[in-house]
Structure 1
């Protein structure tokens, strides 16, 4: 004998909600964003960089090169010099009334130490040379 369903008992069907609740996801992402923004250090050092003018006019002057071949091995346009006599030798090589306003190009071998390179740049800066160009060579 089949079971009878009384009219007074109602059967309610509960449907599942398949929508994604994105509110907790957004909350977690905002907290992570704030954590990363606070934890990233702010770059406080700036290097002043003067770019050359866009004109390609030749000045007619032969550039003066300072070559760093190793620690204590310095050359100004092919003539050997030292760190202590760098200023006097550079003034003689530039042959200008205002040698500190002339452009000086510094190049170094790929295997020289960083401190040897920075010693030359610091020595030039200490004597007032501010128009310093850095050169590199392609390594094959």
Structure 2
């Protein structure tokens, strides 16, 4: 039976090489497998992307009660209400439009107090704009228009009622 060069190498040549380098000894790997590292990094990225918005929202907690009072640095806001018929109220007292600015300045006592404007949804835009302009020219810089929640969002179609 004749052996080819390949058979001869496989039969005897391989054993000689193994003996020379030692039994079961392998050469050093020249490449590092980075696939597990990439997998771990992607998982961490997803975890941080999901948890980052939750950190800014805050966690609901029940705060303990203490004897310390509230900080008094914040002045009490003034509330101006406008009814659907155009009547103007400062707090709960009716006020004519001409007397609104002097009365507001007297109540603010020289302090910069925030003003909340509550207008009925059926009040005309003209009256609301005039009141806000009168407040602005009277020196009130923090004017807030109060609205109710639960209305249609911007761009959403209104639903027809029953």
Q: Give the structure-2-normalised TM-score.
A: 0.44
> Is the strand fraction higher in 1 or 2?
1
Q: Give the structure-1-normalised TM-score.
A: 0.50
> Is the helix fraction higher in 1 or 2?
2
